[in-house]
Amino acid sequence: MGCIRLLGGILLAITATQAEAQDSYPNRPIRLIVGFTAGGPTDTPARLIAEKLRTSLGQSIVVENRPGAGGKIALDYVLSQPRDGYTLSLCTYIDATNTVLLKNPGYALADLAPISQITKAYYAFAVPTALPVQDLASFAAHAKAKPGALNYGHVGAGSMPELVAKRFEQAAGVKMTGVPYKGTAEASMDLAGGRLDFMVAPLIVVQPLLDAGSVKYIGMTSPERLTAFPNVPTAVEQGYRITDNGWLGVCAGAGVPAEIIARLNREVGQAVASPAYRELVEKTGVMPYAGSVDEFRQLVTDTETDMRKLARELGLEAK
């Protein structure tokens, strides 16, 4: 009987300690791990979100870049850490697509605890300014005249830039060579320098190059023309039914207490709704968006489902 009372006391003490830890969260710095290089389309929103969270949570938020393998290196690291809410991931749609495109991804979607979406992004079809093309049709003709000679940049298998490029290849009947990069910033610089011929590019990265006159847009994946780029026709307008988009969000490893996930969802949502964040992303054609935990979890699941369908359509095999 005494042993039972002792065990009960220990369990109560553990429960009280856990509750206290959750109530005082956060009581030390939080790390937000980004799987791509600094200055890219993932890193830039992450840093503004971190800045807003520092104020609202009253705790330091350290952004740490661990680029490589389409974000997998960063996610593997996050999942190796204690599930206490102090190591978060700036997660992307690639985390969901990797479970389809990699034979041994090393994790399942069940290992993730989605917290909140932060962006929805469409892409530009970009080429070097010097390339003698004006639209997707003239680029397709240019590519057909040089079968297999043109290349395009992307940030890894399963990344939206690679998948949309493959979708365009299939629709246009052309063949190009994909060149992987650790980050979109590096790929876009090679595009501007003429070392790449084509790129499905996040606007937040290539906009400065467009402003500088070193690249040009020949199409968009948005269903309708973007307000920021009214003179750039969509792929749909040009006869290609390509309306793909990507997303960014904040995730943790499964097992983080629900109370912490709920609080982070509220705080991230407020950060996304801030005028500074909205101004940053909207001017680059990216849409700020944050919803409930359940809504984001469904988006992650739907992304994996959609990727299975797309992999069948494009004949992609897990690597």
Confidence class of residue 12 from pLDDT cuts 50, 70 and 90?
A: very low
Q: What is the mean pLDDT of residues 84-93?
A: 97
The Cα 33–Cα 232 span in angstroms is: 34
Give kind and range of the element (H or E) at residue 49: helix 43-57
250 pLDDT more than 60: yes
The model's pLDDT over 16-49, given as tens digits with 9 standing for 90+, comes to 444 444 568 999 999 999 999 888 788 889 999 9
Decide which of 117 and 37 is more confident: 117
Instruction: Give, to the nearest 10 degrees, the angle between helix 136-145 and helix 160-172.
Output: 80
- DSSP code string of 145-209: HSTTT-EEEESSTT-HHHHHHHHHHHHHT---EEEE-S-HHHHHHHHHTTS-SEEEEEHHHHHHH
Q: Coil, helix or strand for 120? A: strand
Decide which of 52 and 122 is more confident: 52
Q: What is the mean pLDDT of residues 247-273?
A: 97
The model's pLDDT over 175-205, given as tens digits with 9 standing for 90+, comes to 999 999 888 888 999 999 999 999 998 887 7
Q: Rounded to whole angstroms, what are the CA distances from 207 to 32, 153, 210?
A: 25, 16, 5
Decide which of 8 and 150 is more confident: 150
Q: By C-alpha distance, which of 318, 272, 133, 128 is closest to 214?
A: 128
For 69-73, 160-164, 201-205, 296-300, which range has the lowest pLDDT when averaged over its residues?
Answer: 201-205
Give me 224's structure tokens: 């309708």
pLDDT number for residue 109: 95
Give me 188's structure tokens: 């876009």
Beta carbons of 184 and 44 less than 8 angstroms apart: no
Average pLDDT, the chain: 89
Decide which of 137 and 38 is more confident: 137
**Pairing state of beta strands 123-128 and 87-92?**
unpaired
Decide which of 281 and 28 is more confident: 28
- Residues of the chain with pLDDT > 70, as a percent, come to 92
Residue 273 exposure: Cα atoms within 13 Å on the Cβ side: 9
Q: What is the mean pLDDT of residues 201-215?
A: 88
Q: Rounded to whole angstroms, what are the CA distances from 292 to 3, 67, 99, 139, 300?
A: 44, 28, 23, 41, 13
pLDDT number for residue 221: 94
pLDDT number for residue 227: 80
Full-model pTM: 0.78
104 residue type, one letter = N
Decide which of 88 and 205 is more confident: 88
103 pLDDT more than 70: yes
Confidence class of residue 245 from pLDDT cuts 50, 70 and 90?
A: confident
6 pLDDT more than 80: no
CA angle 234, 310, 114 (to 5 degrees): 90
312 pLDDT more than 80: yes
Q: Coil, helix or strand for 39? A: coil
For 72-86, 110-124, 148-162, 228-242, which range has the lowest pLDDT when averaged over its residues?
Answer: 148-162
Decide which of 246 and 199 is more confident: 199
Number of residues assigned to the chain: 319
* Residue 123, φ and ψ in degrees, nearest 5: -130, 155
pLDDT number for residue 284: 63
The Cα 225–Cα 165 span in angstroms is: 19
